[in-house]
Amino acid sequence: MQVTRTSPLSRAAMLIGLVVLVALAAAPWWAGRAELRLFGEMFLYMALATLWNLLAGYAGLVSVGQQAYVGLGGYAFFALTMLFGVPVYLALPLAALGGAIVAAPVAALIFRLRGAYFAIGTWVISEVFRLIAAQTPALGGGSGTSLPAGIVKTLAASRDGREAAAYWLALGVMALVLGAAFAVLRSRQGIALTAIRDNELAARSLGIDIWRTKFVTYVLVGGLTALVGALIFLQKLRISPEAAFSANDWTAFVIFIVVIGGIGTLEGPILGTLIFFALRETMADLGTLYLIALGVVAIAVMLKAPSGLWGLIRARTGAELFPLSYRVTGLTARRPAPSKD
């Protein structure tokens, strides 16, 4: 008998994932400018969805205010490069650090709110950030500001070079976020998180420090979300309070992605992002009707298949692409039944 985390499927998936990653890294040589932009945007949404899923799907912290950190990261990046002359490649990690530093006292405050009230509390925080940004004349106040050409040109001299650099940064951050989420979930912290996801009371009675586990997760996610935010506005080259702290763009879409793909799994947000972008590219001309349809689909999924599309696939086949669960093999000659973590 043997206890393993990997399965032939997960080994194959990791290998294919690596090949896809290499192929994507070479995209500036085989894809056009429009495709690069689309891919870059997809990677950033995939990162946001993975981060929101860590909060809501694992730590039980359902936030509807993650736009607070997207906007904070964007504004921190603009302030560092424009006002303090920090080089672009240094400003990105500093924006992430800033997000984490701000997330700590915010967590201490809003963790006092339970459950659904926590959700609205996170929204209040993002409103506060938005109003502060709108009251900061150095960053353009309510109408926002653009990144000066001089700073943009430090990325690369040619336009193609800049497009490629922005693309690689987005790919790199997506890989970093997925890697971080995977590493966290495989660690001691991740086992605690999985226990909290399954049953908070039982986790507490096993001696898990719930508050500390949630706090560490919230701060980590805040920092990484700020990093994604900095990249989003590096690509847009323009920031305004409305765009930076948009609940629709940075939270509503992200929630749809995670709910449709499968909440509480690492694969779900990836699958959800692919579906979301496929729908968007084919149906976005419908405008508000498209958004109404998204809302209806999300409600239907939540009512009929709360574990999302990946949850359905996993329940049928036991498939798991990221080796996270422990499985016992070699007990009998037959293939073991799909384990649930």
**Interface residues toward another protein, by CB under 8 A:** 56, 62, 64, 109-110, 112-117, 119-121, 123-124, 127-128, 131-132, 134-135, 247-248, 252, 255, 259, 263, 288-289, 291-292, 294-296, 298-299, 302-303, 306
Whole-number Cα distances in Å, 216 to 124, 171, 174: 21, 25, 20
β-pairing, 238-239 vs 145-146, is antiparallel
Q: How far is the CB of 198 from another protein (least distance, A)?
A: 11
Alpha carbon 182 to its chain's center: 13
Nearer of residues 302 and 328 to another protein, judged by Cβ: 302
Nearer of residues 41 and 127 to another protein, judged by Cβ: 127
- CB contact at 8 A, 312 and 263: no
Q: How far is the CB of 201 from another protein (least distance, A)?
A: 10
What would you measure as the largest C-alpha separation in the chain, in angstroms?
A: 71
- CB contact at 8 A, 169 and 177: no
Q: How far is the CB of 80 from another protein (least distance, A)?
A: 24
Nearer of residues 54 and 231 to another protein, judged by Cβ: 54
- Going by C-alpha positions, the residue among 31, 48, 36 that lies closest to residue 162 is 36
Nearer of residues 81 and 251 to another protein, judged by Cβ: 251
Q: How far is the CB of 125 from another protein (least distance, A)?
A: 8
DSSP labels, 99-129:
HHHHHHHHHHHHTTS-HHHHHHHHHHHHHHH
Q: How far is the CB of 104 from another protein (least distance, A)?
A: 14
Q: How far is the CB of 170 from another protein (least distance, A)?
A: 26
Measure the CA–CA gap between 228 and 47, rounded to whole angstroms.
7
Provide the b/e sequence for 195-215 (b: ≥16 CB within 10 Å). Answer: bbbeeeeebeeeebebeebbb
- Going by C-alpha positions, the residue among 213, 180, 218 that lies closest to residue 196 is 213
- CB contact at 8 A, 268 and 258: yes
Nearer of residues 40 and 71 to another protein, judged by Cβ: 71
Residue with tokens 């609205």: 120
Q: How far is the CB of 231 from another protein (least distance, A)?
A: 25
Nearer of residues 40 and 311 to another protein, judged by Cβ: 311
Nearer of residues 180 and 301 to another protein, judged by Cβ: 301
Nearer of residues 90 and 302 to another protein, judged by Cβ: 302
Nearer of residues 9 and 291 to another protein, judged by Cβ: 291
CA quadruple 186, 190, 192, 197: dihedral, nearest 10: -120
β-pairing, 327-329 vs 238-239, is unpaired
Q: How far is the CB of 335 from another protein (least distance, A)?
A: 32
Q: How far is the CB of 186 from another protein (least distance, A)?
A: 24
